[in-house]
């Protein structure tokens, strides 16, 4: 007697804790082994780009927070920069420092949630609590700076909305002094854990060639051994003046480009953000935080494209102006959307449990996928 098996078609999501948002995966599987997992996106589509063509330029800034709510400050900055490029506007130097301070704190916030959720998705609940505890402390600092903890609406076209409150620099440096040893403890708890390593090592490996072909960006690209970071290679704001290291995956616990490399790249990028923040607080000059501008912005006819290194990588804003007070066309490019494209290929032959690891290691955020 021969045992016959057949392929099943399963839905993972759109309401599933491991999909990190309202995302659906159509999984073809024979038992525990998948033949492929096909992403089905669109459940969170809000026409945010069309809204950018209905609002005036200043009015669209709060909407950029929703493009990536876990890295809203970077989304703010990218949109402000593309409008400033069309206007030919120079941002005050103090405002540039404040933007970078806010962006790097936001990178720490985003990466803390990413690595904590990854650990929880593979079965370790305690690291997630530790990550959230530290994340809340950074949220307190962001709230002191701009009044919000998630969707900040802090950056303005021409600068930022608020200056640092009194003693903010000292408060931030005190947090960083306490946070670094806490992060060492987190690494001892997670990064060297035998079970955690076995769940991530050689799982969901993305080669350098595939990472480039599928247009991966940010930590997902660097984890595959590609030494590329917009802050260094296409520098903007004050990043050319700062000393930091671009973290690249080396396959130290398995293969270059596996899930562990994607995890460890984010862990070490947090340390580089700490280094950047210390430099910013030691060098920030006095001065204005917002350039002088007319109340109604009407950039000249033309087009512009600006790229920033968000927490999930290359975030680009493409803007066409027809000379009116509203954009003629706005297009947002995000890292999560490109990250989804490679899942169908990498998932072939994987275990269903490892699909959870793959999704979490790519750090996709649903609003970035459905715009």
pLDDT 10s digits, 137-153: 999 999 999 999 989 99
Q: Which residues are bridge partners to 351 per DSSP?
A: 33
3-state SS assignment for residue 74? helix
Residues 6+ apart with CB under 8 A from 254: 197, 200, 201, 202, 203, 205, 260, 261
Q: Is the peptide bond before 361 cis (omega within 30 degrees of 0)?
A: no
pLDDT of residue 364: 86
On whether the CB atoms of residues 235 and 285 are closer than 8 A, the answer is: no
Q: Taking residues 301-308, report their average pLDDT.
A: 96
Taking the alpha carbons at both ends of the chain, their separation in whole angstroms is 53
On whether the CB atoms of residues 79 and 61 are closer than 8 A, the answer is: yes
CA–CA separation, 42 and 371 (whole Å): 8
Structure tokens of 135? Answer: 């994340």
- Of the candidate ranges 11-15, 94-98, 200-204, 344-348, the one whose mean pLDDT is the lowest: 11-15
3-state SS assignment for residue 315? strand
Give the alpha-carbon dihedral of 263, 265, 271, 276, to 10 degrees.
Answer: -140
CA–CA separation, 174 and 167 (whole Å): 11
Helices (H), 58-92: 61-64, 72-87
Among candidates 78, 44, 155, which has minimal Cα distance to 311? 78
3-state SS assignment for residue 156? strand
Alpha carbon 300 to chain centroid, angstroms? 31
pLDDT band at 134 (very low <50, low <70, confident <90, very high): very high
Structural domains of the chain, ranges and CATH numbers in brackets: 8-47+90-294+343-363 (1.10.645.10)
pLDDT of residue 18: 63
Q: Angle at CA 222, nearest 5°, toward 105 and 119?
A: 65
CA–CA separation, 107 and 72 (whole Å): 10
On whether the CB atoms of residues 161 and 153 are closer than 8 A, the answer is: yes
In the chain, DSSP assigns E strands to: 8-12, 24-30, 33-40, 155-156, 159-160, 302-310, 313-321, 327-333
The percent of residues above 90 in pLDDT, for the chain, comes to: 65
pLDDT one-digit tens code per residue, 332-371: 998 888 888 898 899 888 988 888 899 889 988 888 888 7
pLDDT one-digit tens code per residue, 20-61: 678 888 899 888 888 888 888 888 888 899 999 999 999 999
Q: Which helix (DSSP H) or strand (DSSP E) does residue 97 occupy?
A: helix 93-121
pLDDT of residue 2: 66
Residues 6+ apart with CB under 8 A from 138: 105, 108, 109, 112, 175
In 268-312, DSSP assigns E strands to: 302-310
**C-beta neighbour count of 89 within 10 angstroms:** 18
pLDDT one-digit tens code per residue, 50-66: 999 999 999 999 999 98
- How far, CA to CA in Å, does 346 sit from each of 70, 199, 353? 25, 16, 14
Q: Which residues are bridge partners to 25 per DSSP?
A: 12, 39
pLDDT of residue 295: 86
pLDDT of residue 17: 65
């Amino acid at each position: 007697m021969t045992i016959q098996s057949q392929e099943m078609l399963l839905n993972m999501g759109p309401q599933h804790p491991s999909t990190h948002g309202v995302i659906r995966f159509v999984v073809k599987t024979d038992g525990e082994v998948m033949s492929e997992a096909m992403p089905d996106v669109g459940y969170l589509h809000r026409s945010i780009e069309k809204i950018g063509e209905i609002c005036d330029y200043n009015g669209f800034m709060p909407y950029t927070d929703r493009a990536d709510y876990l890295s809203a400050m970077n989304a703010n900055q990218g949109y402000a920069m593309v409008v400033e490029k069309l206007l030919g506007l120079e941002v005050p130097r103090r405002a540039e420092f404040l933007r970078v301070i806010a962006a790097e704190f936001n990178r720490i916030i985003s990466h803390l949630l990413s690595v904590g959720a990854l650990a929880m998705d593979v079965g370790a609940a305690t690291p997630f609590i530790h990550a959230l505890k530290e994340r809340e402390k950074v949220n307190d600092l962001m709230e002191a700076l701009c009044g919000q903890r998630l969707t900040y609406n802090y950056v303005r076209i021409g600068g930022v909305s608020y200056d640092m409150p009194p003693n903010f620099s000292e408060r931030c440096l005190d947090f960083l002094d306490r946070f670094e040893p806490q992060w060492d403890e987190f690494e001892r708890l997670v990064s060297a854990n035998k079970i955690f390593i076995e769940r991530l090592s050689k799982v969901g490996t993305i080669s350098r060639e595939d990472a480039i072909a599928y247009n991966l960006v940010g930590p997902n690209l660097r984890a595959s051994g590609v030494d590329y970071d917009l802050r260094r290679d296409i520098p903007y704001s004050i990043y050319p003046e700062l000393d930091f290291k671009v973290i690249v995956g080396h396959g130290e616990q398995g293969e270059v480009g596996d899930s562990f490399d994607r995890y460890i790249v984010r862990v070490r990028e947090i340390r580089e953000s700490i280094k950047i923040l210390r430099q910013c607080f030691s060098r920030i000059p006095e001065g204005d935080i917002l350039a002088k501008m007319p109340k109604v912005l009407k950039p000249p006819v033309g087009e512009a494209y600006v790229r920033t290194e968000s927490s999930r990588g290359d975030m680009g804003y493409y803007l066409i102006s027809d000379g009116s007070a509203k954009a003629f066309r706005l297009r947002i490019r995000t890292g999560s959307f490109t990250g989804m494209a490679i899942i169908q290929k990498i998932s072939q032959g994987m275990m269903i449990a490892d699909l959870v690891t793959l999704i979490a290691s790519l750090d996709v955020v649903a609003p970035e996928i459905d715009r």
